[in-house]
């Protein structure tokens, strides 16, 4: 772990401790106790969204390599990769996925990385659409106050701008163009690195040009998955005997995802995710213990699926030395 990531992790943990100190712990436990075995429902809803997300990634890979793949194997690879993403703080899971694709399907690293970048880009485009709907919901609900609404709008504009810039860099091969200008001044090692990036860009650009119908199909699947996130929240509140509208669930999920996106440098969003739940739920339901309970329920759901992914992953004999060497 880098020095900066360690510092950010400490900040996140400190924020989490601060939140727990500020919330009435007995009230928090009372909220959690309402769930009990109903927690299985939350796991099932997440599974449904995860299936959609996995299928969309499968479509990305198939259209890049022109080869049909077996869904349950892709599902297994993805759940393992997401587990490693979590414990390695959002940097280690993608190379693990690439290695497993190579081992299971003999897919080249360049194609694997291209599929991962492509899938992530479309996921983020879907998130822009979802957050736009969520932003409209925030203004329609009219419970958050002007300052909160303005902050949400600014966050959305910044996030959208960054994603559009990321897409433009891919679509118009700006990395390759930049390399063409400076390649004579770079070392052999850097030129080799940029050559790999150029090959990846070519695959992605070809997809954008020739697979427009597939692009929109994947976009729809990813957008549906974001709505499953809102459905999960709606269900959590329902199981805790707290009524919220589905629009409110969309608004909460939007604010959570915007904070997660903008504070991505906090490992696993520890503390920041809990903080936004406490603040937003307190505005809507006037209860900080309820907000913390909702946050912890979602975190527990993450931990359970991560545990499943790690158990499956440790049986794969993942060679991290090979990952480091190839990527």
Query: Nearest-CA neighbor of 170 among 133, 117, 119?
Result: 117
pLDDT, position 77: 93
pLDDT, position 321: 62
pLDDT along the chain (327 residues), means of 10: 75 90 89 88 94 95 92 94 78 80 86 89 95 96 89 93 89 72 63 70 86 94 96 96 95 94 84 93 93 94 92 74 57
pLDDT, position 184: 65
**Token reading at 13:** 């943990």
Q: CA angle, 54 as apex, 131 and 212 as ends, to 5°?
A: 70
165-174 long-range contacts, CB within 8 A, separation 24+ = 166/121, 166/124, 167/121, 167/125, 170/117, 170/121, 170/201, 170/204, 170/205, 170/208, 171/205, 171/208, 173/198, 173/201, 173/202, 173/205
The helix-helix angle for 212-239 and 39-65 (nearest 10°) equals 170
pLDDT, position 68: 93
**pTM of the full structure:** 0.89
pLDDT, position 268: 81
pLDDT, position 191: 63
Four-CA torsion 151, 157, 163, 168, nearest 10 degrees: -160
**Domain coordinates of the chain in residue numbers?**
3-326
**Token reading at 98:** 């690439």
pLDDT, position 190: 59
């Amino acid at each position: 772990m880098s020095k900066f990531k360690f510092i950010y992790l400490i900040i996140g943990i400190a924020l989490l401790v601060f939140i727990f100190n500020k919330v009435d712990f007995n009230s928090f436990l009372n909220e959690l106790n309402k769930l009990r075995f109903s927690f299985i429902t939350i796991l099932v809803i997440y599974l449904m969204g995860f299936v959609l997300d996995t299928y969309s990634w499968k479509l990305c890979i198939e259209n890049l390599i022109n080869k049909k793949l077996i869904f349950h194997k892709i599902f297994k690879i993805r759940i393992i990769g997401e587990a490693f993403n979590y414990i390695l703080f959002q940097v280690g899971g993608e190379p693990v996925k690439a290695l497993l694709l190579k081992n299971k399907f003999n897919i080249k690293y360049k194609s694997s990385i291209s599929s991962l970048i492509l899938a992530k880009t479309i996921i983020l485009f879907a998130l822009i659409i979802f957050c736009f709907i969520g932003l409209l919901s925030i203004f329609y609900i009219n419970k958050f106050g002007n300052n909160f609404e303005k902050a949400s709008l600014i966050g959305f504009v910044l996030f959208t701008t960054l994603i559009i810039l990321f897409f433009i860099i891919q679509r118009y091969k700006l990395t390759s163009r930049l390399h063409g200008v400076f390649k004579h001044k770079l070392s052999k090692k850097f030129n080799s690195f940029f050559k790999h990036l150029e090959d990846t860009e070519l695959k992605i650009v070809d997809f954008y040009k020739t697979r427009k119908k597939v692009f929109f199909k994947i976009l729809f699947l990813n957008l549906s998955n974001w709505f499953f996130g809102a459905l999960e929240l709606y269900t959590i509140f329902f199981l805790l005997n707290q009524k919220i509208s589905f629009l409110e669930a969309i608004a909460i999920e939007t604010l959570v995802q915007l904070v997660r996106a903008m504070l991505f440098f906090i490992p696993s969003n520890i503390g920041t995710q809990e903080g936004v739940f406490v603040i937003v739920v307190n505005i809507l339901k006037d209860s900080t213990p309820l907000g913390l309970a909702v946050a912890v329920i979602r975190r527990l759901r993450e931990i359970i699926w991560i545990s499943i992914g790690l158990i499956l992953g440790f049986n794969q004999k993942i060679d991290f030395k090979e990952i480091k060497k190839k990527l």
